[in-house]
Chains A and B, each alone.
Chain A
Amino acid sequence: MKMKLLVLTLACAVSLPSFAADEPVVVIAKADVDAAASAVAADDDQQTEPGSDEVTSPSAEDLAGRLDSITEAFTEARNTLDNLNRMRFSGYIQPQYLNDERSINELTGVAATRNRDQFSVRRARIKFAYQFSPTSRFIFQPDFGTGGAPTLKDGYVEYTEPWTTWRNTLTAGQFNWPFGFEIMYSSSSREMPERSNVVRTLFPGERDRGAMLSGVGFGERFNYRVAVVNGTGTAQTFDFNKRKDVVARVGGTLGPLDLGVSLYRGAELVSLTGLTRGREFDKERTGIDFQWVTPVPGLGVRGEYIRGVQPPNPGVAQTVRAADVDGWYAYAIQNLGTRHQFVVRVDEYDPNTDTNNNATRTIGGSYIFHWDANSKFMFAYEQPELEDSDPDDNVFTLRYQYSF
């Protein structure tokens, strides 16, 4: 009895992997075939005249009629399916736990605290895409994360001209600023929890409202994007000045090396002390970026440098001028197999290049474990430090992401 039990257990254990196969196995039992045959026979019986044993075959007209009705039903079903096929859904959710050295167990108001250690849903986004013709599509992406009310991240219509191989595309609505690499690189793919300091500061929210022309050429080795936007980002409902901002990037691919040059030229109307109607300041950014697949297997390096002119914050004295700013970041990403990624990132942002000791440099790293095609875990640690001091503000993030 014990031996039988042992053999049975071993057999079950060995056969377990067979049931874990990815591809579904369809088994048609003989009983199913017999049942289907009986159903056909029963259907045939309905052709028999009452009181007669003779089985009459359906006429050619009957068959043609049946075929027409099946064709009609099939066409309707296919049209419905075609419409559904035009719709695409994708999305991801990022629950996380964050531990921040700045956390203090102290209330600063009835519903406010200096504690930053918490569980949260950093992003919860669903992207709807509807391809209403071969050359045009509609994109809508709300975000339900960060604990507040849902916000619109992307909402635009695209029209791609069908006449040339450049696939020139006009986009209108709310979309990413076409500047550099990190802004347009999806948060679901990024190897660190948040974008680098310089990008977060100079391009808050990463999106704006306007119209953009983009395309690819020379065997897809060259690409361009030019947009005219409000310049306010998405946090403000109105554009306070009449002048519109222009932002553009041109990029090229040289095998394992991708290069890009970006420009932003605009202005911002800022309210100052004693001058509530505001004064217009130039807002400028110039950037270069690169992404390199190194000869070391699985090692990728990317970086970006941005410099520009940043208007002052609202409410400052009228004597304050726009500041010259600059910043950069560099990533090194090492893949091991298909599941493991080790990442190091260094970034720096100087809010005024004319002043000493005010730049912030952040050194961070992460390990990413790709559980399967849909889910991954990220363990990240970041250490920001000033030029002359290192305050207690390091951050550890444990994040899980599920995408579909």
Chain B
Amino acid sequence: MKKTTITLLLAALAMPLFAARPITIKGSDTMVIMNAKLAEAFMSRNPSSTIQVTGGGSGVGIAALINGTTDIAAASRPIRTSEIDKLKARFASTGFAYPIARDGLSVYLNERNPVRELSLQQLQEIYTGRITNWNGVGGNDATIILYSRENSSGTYQYFKDNVLRGKDYAPRTQTLQGTAAVVNAVSKDPNGIGYGGAAYAKGIRFAAVKKDAKSPGIVPSLETVRSGDYPITRFLFLYTRTRPSGAMKSFIDWALGAEGQKIVSQVGYFPVK
């Protein structure tokens, strides 16, 4: 009896060692809902797989990929050369990128704001602090209140690289944790402006964005993002250290397949295929 008890006890203690190790996805807050829904659907079809999804920002996810604490990094921006250098040095790998969805980076305005469209040039001047009053872009005589994401966010970096063209945000820009917080702030502030993924945009209006002063304003939609007419589109990525195999490969293949891409559309992003 004593032997049986000890054997059972040892077996119970050893169980976690033999259990399938969960796949971890860490990174972009923009992607966290989409990734959670993808993981949930995949696990319901593959009960032996476990996928854990956490946010923290694209930078945090890629840092975790570099230090070996996550299997997959979710990022709403391309990985940087300096990050690839760290992957090369630590793991002798240049990383593997999987664009899993397209996103139209939307510009949010309060519903009471009379401004309907903005050019990329105007957006750059607004966010770098050269235009500080709405009357500078055809709106009311009111100070523009800038809302942005925190600097660990891939959305922050993408907007900086592609809309501000590398210039710095105006010092008075208020940074908020998560796109939902930006949407919430703009929805309560008639003079506010923010940006973020289309998936979160509820209760506020999207500004039509013009490539230049002469171009027509385009609102982000499936058609305009897919066709590339909307000027601020980006891919959302999953990054791995090594070429995926086993359950990780099955998950990524499935997410890029018809079922996965259907979920991508359901949460408000645009399929890559």
Q: Given A165-B166, A185-B89, A298 and B242 touching (CB < 8 A)?
A: yes
The CA-CA distance from A2 to B91 in the complex, in Å, is 50
- Interface presence of A293 (CB below 8 A): yes
- Interface presence of B69 (CB below 8 A): yes
CB of A162 within 8 A of CB of B167, answer: yes
CB of B54 within 8 A of CB of A23, answer: yes
Interface string of B74-117 (1 = CB under 8 A from A): 00000011100100111111100000000000000000000000
Q: Given A253-B81, A258-B88, A373-B67, A293 and B93 touching (CB < 8 A)?
A: yes
Closest beta carbon of chain A to B23's beta carbon, Å: 13
Interface size on B, residues (CB 8 A): 31
CB of A10 within 8 A of CB of B9, answer: yes
- Interface presence of B41 (CB below 8 A): no
CB of B88 within 8 A of CB of A300, answer: yes
Q: Which of A10, A134, A298 contacts B91 (CB 8 A)?
A: A298
Q: In the complex, what residue of chain A is closest to B161 when comparing beta carbons?
A: A165
- How many residue pairs link A and B with beta carbons under 8 A? The number is 75
Closest beta carbon of chain A to B28's beta carbon, Å: 17
Q: Given A10-B9, A335-B92, A220 and B81 touching (CB < 8 A)?
A: yes
**Chain B CB within 10 A, most for which of A6, A291, A338:** A338
CB of A373 within 8 A of CB of B69, answer: yes
Interface string of B229-250 (1 = CB under 8 A from A): 0000000000001110000000
Interface residue ranges of B34-72 to A (CB < 8 Å):
54, 64, 67-69
Q: In the complex, what residue of chain A is closest to B67 when comparing beta carbons?
A: A373
Q: Which of B67, B91, B167 contacts A335 (CB 8 A)?
A: B91
CB of A298 within 8 A of CB of B88, answer: no
Q: In the complex, what residue of chain A is closest to B68 when comparing beta carbons?
A: A338
In the bound complex, residues from chain B placing their C-beta under 8 Å from that of A372 are: 69
Interchain Cβ contacts under 8 Å between A and B, 16 examples: A6-B5, A10-B8, A13-B9, A13-B13, A17-B16, A23-B54, A162-B168, A189-B90, A255-B94, A291-B88, A291-B89, A294-B92, A297-B93, A297-B242, A298-B242, A334-B92
Residues of A within 8 A of B (CB): 2, 6, 9-10, 13-14, 16-17, 23, 134-135, 162, 164-165, 185, 189, 216, 220-221, 253, 255-256, 258, 291, 293-294, 297-300, 333-335, 338-339, 370, 372-373
Query: Closest 3 interchain pairs by CB?
Result: A300-B92, A338-B68, A220-B81
Residues of B within 8 A of A (CB): 1, 5, 8-9, 12-13, 15-16, 54, 64, 67-69, 80-82, 85, 88-94, 166-169, 241-243
What 10 additional pairs, Cβ within 8 angstroms, besides A255-B94, A373-B69?
Answer: A13-B12, A16-B16, A134-B169, A135-B168, A162-B168, A253-B81, A298-B93, A333-B92, A334-B92, A335-B91
